[in-house]
Structure 1
């Protein structure tokens, strides 16, 4: 945006040029034709007191011979096709011509054929010896004070083909500073998009145009008319050399000069088979074939009655008795039918509480490690079953066990023994364990005081080592960060369209052009600009003011960049309400001015905003595009339904300098919230944001989540307390409840989170708000599972007669400990693998979550086991829960009977599992699962990856409303900068040719490649040609009025300081560019010079921050370092648009790097948020694959007992 803001004053430059060149006389005027070969003027004899322009003396006579040597030199230089032997211009006219030609030359000389063709129209009008053939004086005036008659108005007859050819050679000449075309500056209201040959010349000859000395009415004719012969001269097309010496126009300035672009690859066609979605078709076939094979296998195997000669068999009734004899019988029984299998699975899912210690083979509840399916089992009478050890003779089984299988079985045995002993140890010393646990938690929790929480979205989203962050840091440190943007989107509500009757018919405007609506917009704009008045952070102290003069101490509010429709009216109600009448008698008003300025925002007379630059209508207006429509060449801004106010604030790489801007933004947000709630007119809908708003809203959301976390923990605590209790009678309610144990379990979960956060705070790993928002819920869910497993296994187990409570607890932990260990290690490993992600938010979350789960496991097998021991002792002593100092009545002594099965337990054991184990149901389950898998695979390629930024904001956030409005109403893409790192010697002509886009520049130069990319925006996502400080520097240096130096020390002086002298830059070579030393001497002058009417190419506004240079204090020569070339992306709506635009920009930058031999990279503010989506699919597959592999390794050793069991004891 900044690049567009400054250079619009070039229009005036062109007018200057034409006015002087045409300097004309005045007369009382009669439309008449003079004789052939006669002049209509000679010499400049009258100066207009109002404009200061010189007008030509009326002269109806033969041409005269030039005798002045200087005048002859000028004629040969500017008008080589005219002879000094006979001209209709005097030396004074030629002097004026030479002086004023410097201005159009600044804009048009980059295309030599255009400049030559344009000069022909001016030279022949000024000096042709045959004026009377194609010029007609329609008005001449007499000045009695000087006794001269001067020409005041003429008709200029041109052959239509000549006019079209001149226009055609110039219409595509670019203006590097704006990325637009020169016709945006030279064609008035029409701009480059609607300009034609006649409109161009008519505008240049219109006396209403500033600095045009008199009316020149152009006529494009195809044959002689009214006795005049239209001027018809040979022209040179822009793609040809003008004189065989000067080159043709470059590709950027002449499309015909561009090489034929390679054919663009056609968009990838969707994968289809027979007109159907290919993925769905393939997976449908896979499903049908796979299901058929499965059903065929089931059918072929259905007659098999026995699964193996030595298969291990048991019946359901075997699990209803606990005798050792029955258990031994089960070891040698045979399997017959499916009933036994159903009983086994039912027992695995719901272990009978009477026999939790009597672990049948493969009890999944007792231990998912399942050695053999328990390699070691303990009977109710403490009988140790034979362990399938490594020493077991292989001939005892049908197939010998592998070493790995035996190792897995023994590992499970060791784990069970370890956890049994550990549980007994903790249960016997509960207070010591709780004390040590509390010390550990408090010690680690102390680290929270060192915790650093990241709220900056950039730091959350992109790793410091990622390419996007490195490039962003380079850009910010060399050019300052992109401007801070404060934006208000104002939509007109319940307002009708506005109709305006004009000479072109009735124009229909959108509701945003309602005059009362626009006046309210101005009121809001002025009030926003007045925020902070009288403070150190007022808007004028923080705003971006590109035309602020060097050394200027204070900035006026009017110098601040504000992109608003009111810039077209100079923020003035009086100008807005001005009415007039056009030549056809139609009333003109503020709507006509908008149409004019929207068509050519660079019009220096009516359209430049108070800050001195343009207002881009695509930024200031919204809602003029239909859904799905992109910004075309001729957008109809009249349909706008929305006005957008954009306030640009300076940004700094040094964060300490941002305090004033942050304070202003805070007041701005507070003001907008209050204004929207209390003062907003009924016909407005407002959405707004500031640069700091996203970070503020994320912080607010995290603070509000604290209440949610507390509520969820309280609910989970209540659920645990109620569910763990085994209350059978009201009299034992306060004894059998588990409120204290439930509270302890929840506190242990919370302590694990605190310990994890404190540990990483000590290490120095920064946290993110997502840790506060998500990890407590995650650890709570996992922790509660383990609590239920541990407590309910103990409750459903039968305490042996010779066991203490501590030993019973130890035996319980021995049964479930391996399961808890396996799940905790697996879950933690998955999270720790997530820390391989480069995204800081994900990395921090994975580390904190993985460590919290590990702490949760450690605290559960220590502190929670100790709490269980204390609670069981309390319950056995018949003491109340919570109020443990109160003992219950003896008649309420606990019964020695075993616990009862709950409803959910009974449902799974007696209804769900038996039903699931029916053969038809099993087949249906497998087919349904397989069908679901196939359908998931079929739709996976259609998943859209990306970031929905709306999901990051709470529903009540004003930023969320802004995001939605931005998507609907903003109609321009974000700027993109192609940064060229240091290393290129810009003073060398060959290096210049690798970058520039004007004369003698290479066809594949940097700027030319960017221009070519802008011609295919559908695939390149580049919307406009780029700016080019190199080309503008050449034009600036070649314009005599531009470069000024102080007379004393030859240091920089603004070009509008008349007390300074011209630089007299020396040029050389056929390229006519500054000599290497001159280039280095004056490049800093160019980058410090502001553009004006007399020198529109000053580079300070556009490139002051965009070019790094170092000046040698001794030689005063400057060396250019890193610089950028700015353009715009196309309108980006979806996540795919964002990351694909970045992908294409990087591809283009790689080509540029190869071309110039110096690293080039693209940068836009959104790149850091979308970079990870470029590799989302590979990263996703890696993230999914790595945890599965790690979990497989973690489980492999412990679960090999499963295979051992299946091999030797039968396969269900």
Structure 2
């Protein structure tokens, strides 16, 4: 007699399990009785809720993907995007040869110039229509010229009409434009300011008024006025002489020297002249027309439609021209549009690879679900299972889109998660069905055979997939609270997708199983249902061992038999401890580092250009900006100027284009005022700054100031709304620590200045001084990603263990299942270090995904162990391996096959995804199928007293409950039952319960 006692957890376990079993029994019976109706409902629901997928707008802006909305970089980026539209977009090209100072290279450069001029959009927009134009400053300030101009001024009334709009499209390039740079700082002599000051203001402004404009293009062949005949007849001596002397550009009228554009290995002669260089840089600047609708590209930068389309055509032209290069000369190129262009191409290429991988996975799943003959193969059921996974993805994405949840780039990984969980559920259901099929008692009944067998199948499998689905939902549900937007979005979509998948696997797949089983029992061909075989023609592949399949035979005859011997247990425990120790070591040394280039193929033109630039220009680092908004310049100029001088001396910067030093020299020479010692009043500042910005020596800075009003030459400067100071970091080569040190040092300087300066009274909360650099998003991620990853993993595993405890209601089993999940995650993240990987947003997402997959592997074994009717712990562990082990292995291995072709991926990110996903599958299966059975055989819990009682009641009460089963059959058949001895039927049911249906 079973003792009637038990604790609260045992009562909860038995009641919840009994309730779930009863529900799934009724649900399975209903679905299998009317499979066509449920298939139709699932298809209709997919069309209805999945239609929202057309509303998805993928978010690819980096600041929206990987940083919290409250992060300093994210806030500043959004502010710049809305307040300060950069007025131009730069297109770069680089020529690489043994020596670029040769006639052959000059011929290539003039041909390249003409190619760019010929680039045209569908609307007929050419380079001259979209280029950023600048004044041609052919001004001669020599004494003879001055005397001539003064005489001309006496005969006419000159006035200044050229004005600067002061809007943000008047700003110059924020990076490396040196337009208006009349000479280097060393060449600026105090007397030059005096010469400028000695010119009558009306005369000077009349000269400004006559200036023409030219397209801003940096190409050395401008030094020969783009004259093709002249350039094609240049000698190397002429080229070397021009490159080594500062001359007046015949195109722009400014002093020009192209030494800075030369890179690579540089050789000089005895005179110090450069006679050989390996690379040469060129730029073309496209204007951003703010009067048109602004379009945000994949990098979060804005542009107008005409300019963006021209950039795409420029890329096509460069691709074609690069193939026409003479031997020994290479062309590299890059612009802002190339990121989206290459990313789209990469996604298509890797999408094809994944489709092929899914094809391999489909063949494996079909082979495992069926048997090698024309009747017992199950291609239709395989398609139905994969179709339910696809439908779940469509509904999940569509439903979230209806609710306006953001779709991030990393959500592209979600199919692998849903696929892994869905295939696992498929194999669990089929394993329970096949276990049931080994008993002949139910086959003896002639009515309701398929619905009853499927009801019993789902009665057992439903509890198992409910456990794994709820733990997955718990794992990803806590991820919805992450501060990283891409991880939060991924987890949100995953929760909805997993929920829908659970419903579809219990409905659509089960309904299709009933249809396919009916086909099989009617002896119809697996591919052509119209072909039906006679009774004596039924193929009999094998009715014994082979009928189980090789995987089942391996688990039955080898793994379950030899794994749980004393020797094997010792080996498994030692191996697990060694792997855990290695994983801990790897975690300690795991570094955090991210690089946007990891998403781009190594052989792409974008990566080739950046590699070329990094190799040939090793001192120039990433660009950045110092922004001052609504600052009170009369009070804060000395403080802000001190910041600029500190930045100029900073060991972390390569260069900074700051105006303060030139302004001090100008004011000292012209007005004899030392800005370091005397503060200007408002009138003085507006007057002096206005004259400075219209001078040949300050005009280069004019476009870095956004003003509240327009002002012309000769007028005082209106209030400054925003000022920008561009700079370049130096190149960092010592890993993340060096660039984090540099970023934090610059931030500290700027923050200290921001606290000391004063802002305009009418600015409200808008006044600010801050530093911004596009590359700093990766640096800030490096600073937070590791802590964020471990936090999310800890929360996910905590929620998973809580869910397991509630569902299993067994603390010991919960702990053992949780141990496997924890060790799996530690091993995966630790072995990332040994495989040369680092922590980034992709790795963080996949590691959270690993929690969901690894808990599936372990939970099925734990549940099977608890439900086993065998005797000792070792026997129950062996029984769990035999009954559910093949399904777990097939689920994990088939998921791995889906990504196996990524082993040849072109991008670092895709290859890293393959590596981490492989680690998840390998360690997940090892701990779920090898370590956990050993652990259960040693420390597994005994069957609870209430569980024994419930089993005793199910067996003893099976015959008395038989009338309920007959009633269900009667209702399913419309109230018409075939003649049958009910006592025989009840005897069959009771026999099945004693034998442990659906266990073997």
Local SS of the residue matching 2:621: coil
Q: How does 1:1087-1102 map to 2 (within 5 A)?
A: 1087=693, 1089=694, 1091-1092=695-696, 1096-1098=697-699, 1101-1102=700-701
Question: What is the aligned residue count?
Answer: 721
Query: 810, 827, 832: which one pairs with 1:1201?
Result: 810
Local SS of the residue matching 1:736: coil
Where structure 1 has 5 or more consecutive residues not aligned to the other structure, the ranges are 1-327, 329-385, 387-391, 395-400, 496-510, 581-586, 598-602, 627-633, 728-732, 997-1004, 1041-1064
Q: Equivalents in 2 of 1:557, 1:912: separation in Å?
A: 85
Query: 741, 746, 755: which one pairs with 1:1154?
Result: 755
Where structure 2 has 5 or more consecutive residues not aligned to the other structure, the ranges are 138-161, 166-208, 296-302, 760-767, 814-865, 867-939, 946-1000
Aligned residue for 1:1028? 659
Aligned residue for 1:711? 356
- Pair 1:513 & 2:101 matched: yes
Query: 974, 985, 988: which one pairs with 2:632?
Result: 985
- Pair 1:1172 & 2:809 matched: no
How far did 1:578 drift?
A: 11
How far did 1:1037 drift?
A: 5.7
TM-score (structure 1 length as normaliser): 0.54
How far did 1:725 drift?
A: 1.4
- Pair 1:792 & 2:431 matched: yes
Query: 413, 434, 457: which one pairs with 2:18?
Result: 413
Aligned residue for 1:667? 313
Structure 1's 1077 and 948: CA in aligned 2 closer, same or farther, altered over 3 A?
closer
Local SS of the residue matching 2:471: helix
TM-score (structure 2 length as normaliser): 0.65
- Pair 1:933 & 2:580 matched: yes
Q: Equivalents in 2 of 1:542, 1:837: separation in Å?
A: 43
Query: 262, 265, 283: which one pairs with 1:624?
Result: 265
Query: 309, 333, 339: which one pairs with 1:688?
Result: 333
- Pair 1:1191 & 2:822 matched: no
Local SS of the residue matching 1:1104: helix
**2:706–2:720 contact (8 Å) kept in structure 1:** yes
Q: How does 1:277-426 map to 2 (within 5 A)?
A: 393-394=4-5, 402-426=7-31
**1:987–1:1076 contact (8 Å) kept in structure 2:** yes
Aligned residue for 2:182? none
Q: Equivalents in 2 of 1:1155, 1:1071: separation in Å?
A: 17
How far did 1:878 drift?
A: 2.7
Aligned residue for 2:401? 761
Q: Equivalents in 1 of 2:647, 2:118: separation in Å?
A: 41
Q: Equivalents in 2 of 1:944, 1:682: separation in Å?
A: 42
**1:543–1:650 contact (8 Å) kept in structure 2:** yes
Local SS of the residue matching 2:125: coil
**2:20–2:463 contact (8 Å) kept in structure 1:** yes
Aligned residue for 2:215? 560
How far did 1:1024 drift?
A: 3.0
Query: 594, 598, 605: which one pairs with 1:951?
Result: 598
Aligned residue for 2:413? 774
* Larger mean Cα displacement after TM superposition, 1151-1160 or 1167-1176: 1151-1160
1:335-365 per-residue CA deviation (whole Å, 9 max, x = no partner) reads xxxxxxxxxxxxxxxxxxxxxxxxxxxxxxx
1:879-930 per-residue CA deviation (whole Å, 9 max, x = no partner) reads 3334434432122469997884322222223223333223233223222222
Local SS of the residue matching 2:381: helix
1:1098-1122 per-residue CA deviation (whole Å, 9 max, x = no partner) reads 3xx3232334445799x98833333
Q: Equivalents in 2 of 1:842, 1:951: separation in Å?
A: 18
How far did 1:1009 drift?
A: 2.7
Local SS of the residue matching 1:485: strand
Structure 1's 686 and 1068: CA in aligned 2 closer, same or farther, altered over 3 A?
closer
Structure possessing the higher radius of gyration over alpha carbons: 1
Aligned residue for 1:812? 457
Q: Equivalents in 1 of 2:121, 2:369: separation in Å?
A: 64
**2:626–2:770 contact (8 Å) kept in structure 1:** yes
Q: What root-mean-square deviation, in Å, do the aligned CA atoms of Structure 1 and Structure 2 show?
A: 4.1
Aligned residue for 1:184? none
1:706-731 per-residue CA deviation (whole Å, 9 max, x = no partner) reads 5444434443333333321134xxxx
1:743-764 per-residue CA deviation (whole Å, 9 max, x = no partner) reads 1112111111111121122122
Aligned residue for 1:1181? 790
Query: 417, 426, 431: which one pairs with 2:36?
Result: 431
* Larger mean Cα displacement after TM superposition, 1066-1075 or 407-416: 1066-1075
**2:107–2:232 contact (8 Å) kept in structure 1:** no
Q: Equivalents in 2 of 1:770, 1:568: separation in Å?
A: 48
**2:366–2:379 contact (8 Å) kept in structure 1:** yes
Q: Equivalents in 1 of 2:330, 2:321: separation in Å?
A: 12
- Pair 1:1105 & 2:704 matched: yes
1:26-49 per-residue CA deviation (whole Å, 9 max, x = no partner) reads xxxxxxxxxxxxxxxxxxxxxxxx
**1:967–1:1133 contact (8 Å) kept in structure 2:** no
Local SS of the residue matching 1:1129: strand
Structure 1's 1195 and 859: CA in aligned 2 closer, same or farther, altered over 3 A?
same
Q: Equivalents in 1 of 2:273, 2:672: separation in Å?
A: 47
**1:531–1:664 contact (8 Å) kept in structure 2:** yes
Structure 1's 614 and 1198: CA in aligned 2 closer, same or farther, altered over 3 A?
farther
Higher helix share: 2
Aligned residue for 1:1127? 727
How far did 1:1028 drift?
A: 3.0
Q: Equivalents in 2 of 1:556, 1:707: separation in Å?
A: 55
Aligned residue for 2:681? 1075
Q: Equivalents in 1 of 2:752, 2:681: separation in Å?
A: 29
Aligned residue for 1:975? 623
**1:528–1:668 contact (8 Å) kept in structure 2:** yes
Q: Equivalents in 2 of 1:842, 1:636: separation in Å?
A: 55
**1:532–1:664 contact (8 Å) kept in structure 2:** yes
**1:437–1:859 contact (8 Å) kept in structure 2:** yes
Q: Equivalents in 2 of 1:475, 1:647: separation in Å?
A: 23
Q: How does 1:9-48 map to 2 (within 5 A)?
A: none
Structure 1's 705 and 1157: CA in aligned 2 closer, same or farther, altered over 3 A?
same
**2:389–2:418 contact (8 Å) kept in structure 1:** yes
Structure 1's 462 and 693: CA in aligned 2 closer, same or farther, altered over 3 A?
farther
Local SS of the residue matching 1:559: strand
How far did 1:1135 drift?
A: 6.2
